[in-house]
Structures are given as structure tokens and as C-alpha cells.
Structure 1
Amino acid sequence: MENYGSESSKGKKRRREEESAAESSDFDQILSLEKSLTFSDTMVALRIMRAQFPQIDKVSIQPFILQSQLYSSVKDRTRVDRDLESLKREKVLRIFKLNTGQDDHAIMFSEDYSSQIERVKKRSQEKKLGNLEVFEWFKTHVIDFKLEPSIEHHELWTLLSLGGKVKDEHISLLINAGLLTRQLIDPNMYWFTIPNIGSILKGISQGRKEVLSLLNRRRYKEMMLASLEKKHLRLSSLDMRFHLRDLIGSGHLKIVQTPTGLVVQVSKD
């Protein structure tokens, strides 16, 4: 009975992912944010935003979604939080704490994160670094077991030890590869991190300021969504759609329906 239940669960999970992917494919080519602003389902929203993640030159990174972007796209925040917790437990995705703001979190599909780990492992191989076995230990024993955004040093050491004899150099390699970073408040704690995200985090912060500055300079601090979306940002490699979803979800901007279309306004303090 246990095997049957497990197979049934796997089948349902696979069907759900296939159905979500099919729904996502219908939207992949939609460029207008006005036509794809809100969704009724968290997984559909995640897959569409994953497909619409901007192509960034000279940065090797898998797509990720900001939690604030989900809040802008799926109106029921309680449902979003509940769905994210469920998808995290099912190991469909991982959630990362970002240093761009107190409540900033990035969401990455687990398969994309696994690919990201393989990329940094390959780069370490090309540099002829030692202790590369730690990448496999990290994927097999740490990532699959520890689903939270942070991990304590002793627990990290214990989980890595399931793969082999751990040395300080192993953990240093994970830090240098961008998979871990020490917490400033407690150096015995690490955040799980997304490799190569540094320049993009800078773009998120600068892009937010640029979009808000653009709107604040306008007479009524507002602009038609269709027109705003076509604006090119100077300080961010991410596109306007990425930033608008973020700023709407975080409450800095709001959308107002008018007879001529959707208008983006700066939210009043």
C-alpha cells in the first residue's frame, strides 16, 4: 500500500506540473504586462514569470521570481504563502533570503537551482580547484534535507559528513562558489545563496529607485501601464516588467483601472 500511495502521489505531482507547464506555454509569448498582470494560481504565476525572466548578458544565472512579484500577481497573499510552503516541502522550489531589503526573498525552481550548482562546479573544475566532491555532498545531503533559507555551521558540517570526511576547505569552496554566505549577525549561521546573483541584486535595488524616480517626476506621479512598460531602464539589466511586478507587490506602486486602460501610480505614504 505504501508503494502505491507513493506512486500515486508522484503521478499527481507530475500531472500537476505537466498541466501547469501546458498552461504556462499559452502565456510564454505574451509581452504586455497589462494582459498578464494577475493569475488565479500560484504555480501558473511562477511558471509564467520564470518563462518571462529577462535575458541578461554576461551573467550566468537561472531564472528566479521575487516573492513580491507573486504578491502582485496572485491577490490572495495568504494562499501564496501557503502554496509556497507546500511547494517548498515538496522540493519543487527553494526560497532564498536576499540582502536587497528586509523582506526580500527569491524563489527558484529546484531543478534550476540544481543546474546552477552544476555550473559553479564546472567552473571550479576549469579552475582546477580541489575538494570538488563537496558539490555532490551539498546537493545530495544538504539541499535535499535542509529546506529553510539558512543553516547552522554544525548542522552543515554534519550533513556534509554523510558524503565524506569534511574539511574547512570544503565549506570555503561552497562560500567562494556563491552557494553559501555567512550571516553578519551570527557567523555560525549561513544563508543559502544563488551563485552569480550579485550584479542582479544591485540591478534590483537601482531599478526600484529609477522606476520610482521616473514616476515621482511626473505631475500626478502616475503613468499609463502600457507606456511605462516600454520605458528602458539605464541602471538595471532587468526589464521594466520585472520591476513593476516587484514594486506593485511590495506596495510602492498601485494599479488603477481607468476608461483608457490601466494606470500605475506611486502609492501614498
Structure 2
Amino acid sequence: MEKSSSSRGKKRERDEEIGTAAEEIDQFPSLEENLTFSDTLVAIRIMRAQFPHIDKITMQPFILRSQLYSSITDRTQVDRELESLRREKVLRIFKLNTGQDDHAIMFVDDYLKQIDLVMKRLEAKKPGSLVIFEWFKTHVIVARLEPSIDHQELCSLLSFGGEVKDEHVSLLINTGLLVSKTRQLIDPNMYWFAIPNIGSILKGLSQGRKELLSLLSRRKYKEMMMVSLEKKRLRLSPLDMRFHLRDLIGSGHLKTVQSPTGLVVRSKRRKP
């Protein structure tokens, strides 16, 4: 019972921290004033609250690992704190199928809401199939915290709910909760955990990266003031400029330089 009380206490502290972080967002109107943090969880909370509204796509907020790297100087600290939060089942980390070493971070509560959205869409079409999603939430997610799972372990965990059939696993794949590693030619018996509905957003992520880098490459010195750049809109991405700036700074494609007039964003492709 002591352990349970301790866990509830930690959760209350985290929830209070969420509220505090969200309330503070309005005090930081620009990315220049709100670029760096000292704590990974605080950074995630604030970036979550700043996740852009995306038309026609119901998506719970997620953060990229690269965005955290842009906000906290010590990457080892980020990785260590992410691992701790993952083990505490506060958040999940997803390997993204973007052709790069991209990882999305989503709070477990938001991930469960995303699964509920899948269930709601299927409620009218396949009401009898909804049980597999309950098994997935109850037995798989809580037990397997890593980004991937093999077929045998998946079926073993699902079987705590009832008899597992091939169509059950197929439904988890078809609704975007699992991605077969055969697509990456790695292991046909392994799956990545995935975020449903994220496909079109990932396409926009890749296109937005190219668009932003192209925008800077056309500038005389391959740079712009952060304040001016943040106000621009990207045509090819549903994600906003702030999201992309954090991502590209953290991944090393862009860097920031302090100038007398403010923060400058510069492309690292710039030649001397």
C-alpha cells in the first residue's frame, strides 16, 4: 500500500507541474524567450501545450526527441530523464518511420486517448472487434515499455484477455497501432509500436523540414532573425514554424547565434 500511495503522490506532483507549466506558457510569447529549459519534464509539458492544432486530423500532442535536444544543453540528461519517465510509465517513446532516426514522445494518457479515438471510429463498423483494443491497453502497453515487441510476446500478452486470433493482430496493424518491421527489412516477427493517424503528419514533417531549410538557403547569409522567422507560415506542413525550428535546431541542421539585435537562426550548410 505504501508503494501505491507513493505512486499516487508522484502523479499528483506531476499533474501539478503540468498545470504550472501550462499556465506559464502565456508568459513566453516568443520562441526566442522560451527556447531553453533545465528540466526535461517541464520542457515536454510546455511543448505539449504548444502543439499546433491540426485541421481534419485528430491527433494528441507529441514531442520529438530532437526538440528536447534543442531546449536542454545536456543531451545525456535528456536521455536519462526520458528513460526514467518511460520506466515510470509516464510517457512512451515511438520510433518514427521517416527514414531518419526520429523518435516521438507521447504521454501515456494521451496515447490511450488516441487509441480510444480508433475504437470510436470502429464502434459502428466492427463493434465485436473492440475487445482487442481493450486487451492491448490493459495487458500489452503496461507490460511492454520498449518501442518494439515480437509477435510471440504480443500474442502472449494479449492472451491474458482471451483467445488471440490472426485477425486481431491484423486489426492492430491496420489501425496504425503496430508497424511491421518487415517494411524496414529487419525482422518479420517484430513490430514497432506506433501512433494512429500520424502518417500524414509525418509526411508534413519531412516536407516542412525541407521547406524551412530551403527558405534559409535562399537568404544571402543563410540566416534570419528568430523573431521574423517564427512569424512565417509553412505551406507544406500542418505543423507550425515553432515545431520545426525546435526540431531542426535539435537535430543539428540549424544553429542559433546571439546578436546585438536578438537571436539569429542560421543554416549549418553555410559555407565560410
TM-score, structure 1 normalization: 0.96
Structure 2 equivalent of residue 15 of structure 1: 13
Shift of 1:59: 0.4
AA at the equivalent of 1:131: S
**Residue 70 to residue 129, structure 1, CA distance change in 2 (3 Å):** same
User: Any conservation in 2 of the 1:28–1:52 contact (CA below 8 Å)?
Assistant: no
Secondary structure in structure 2 of the residue aligned to 1:190:
strand
Q: Deviations over 1:103-137 (max 9, x none)?
A: 10000000000000011011111223532210000
Structure 2 equivalent of residue 168 of structure 1: 166
Structure 2 equivalent of residue 225 of structure 1: 226
Structure 1 equivalent of residue 112 of structure 2: 114
- What are structure 1's unaligned runs of at least 5 residues? none
d(CA) in 2 for partners of 1:176, 1:254: 39
Structure 2 equivalent of residue 263 of structure 1: 264
Name which of structure 1's ranges 258-267 and 23-32 shifts more when overlaid on structure 2.
23-32
Q: Deviations over 1:30-59 (max 9, x none)?
A: 431111111111111001000000000000
**1:180 and 2:186 are equivalent in the alignment:** no
The 5 A counterparts of 1:44-59 are: 44-59=42-57
Structure 2 equivalent of residue 148 of structure 1: 146
Aligned-residue RMSD, C-alpha: 1.3
Shift of 1:94: 0.3
Structure 1 equivalent of residue 38 of structure 2: 40
Secondary structure in structure 2 of the residue aligned to 1:126:
coil
Structure 2 equivalent of residue 96 of structure 1: 94
Structure 2 equivalent of residue 133 of structure 1: 131
d(CA) in 1 for partners of 2:2, 2:137: 28
d(CA) in 1 for partners of 2:180, 2:24: 41
d(CA) in 2 for partners of 1:30, 1:126: 44
Q: Deviations over 1:229-258 (max 9, x none)?
A: 111111101100000000000000000000
User: Any conservation in 2 of the 1:28–1:51 contact (CA below 8 Å)?
Assistant: no
Secondary structure in structure 1 of the residue aligned to 2:242:
helix
Secondary structure in structure 2 of the residue aligned to 1:262:
strand
d(CA) in 2 for partners of 1:130, 1:13: 34
Name which of structure 1's ranges 97-106 and 222-231 shifts more when overlaid on structure 2.
97-106
Shift of 1:169: 0.7
d(CA) in 2 for partners of 1:210, 1:93: 30
Secondary structure in structure 1 of the residue aligned to 2:266:
strand
**Residue 139 to residue 243, structure 1, CA distance change in 2 (3 Å):** same
**1:216 and 2:217 are equivalent in the alignment:** yes
**Residue 159 to residue 36, structure 1, CA distance change in 2 (3 Å):** same
Structure 2 equivalent of residue 66 of structure 1: 64
User: Any conservation in 1 of the 2:17–2:42 contact (CA below 8 Å)?
Assistant: no
Q: Deviations over 1:54-83 (max 9, x none)?
A: 000000110000000000011111110000
Secondary structure in structure 2 of the residue aligned to 1:264:
strand
AA at the equivalent of 2:197: N
d(CA) in 1 for partners of 2:180, 2:26: 37
d(CA) in 1 for partners of 2:67, 2:126: 39
The 5 A counterparts of 1:23-38 are: 23-28=21-26, 30-38=28-36
> Percent sequence identity over matched residues?
72
d(CA) in 1 for partners of 2:14, 2:168: 38
Secondary structure in structure 1 of the residue aligned to 2:129:
coil
Shift of 1:101: 3.5
Structure 2 equivalent of residue 247 of structure 1: 248
Q: Deviations over 1:177-196 (max 9, x none)?
A: 11011002211100100000
Query: What is the aligned length?
Result: 267
AA at the equivalent of 1:90: E
d(CA) in 1 for partners of 2:120, 2:135: 15
User: Any conservation in 1 of the 2:231–2:241 contact (CA below 8 Å)?
Assistant: yes
- What are structure 2's unaligned runs of at least 5 residues? none
User: Any conservation in 2 of the 1:97–1:104 contact (CA below 8 Å)?
Assistant: yes
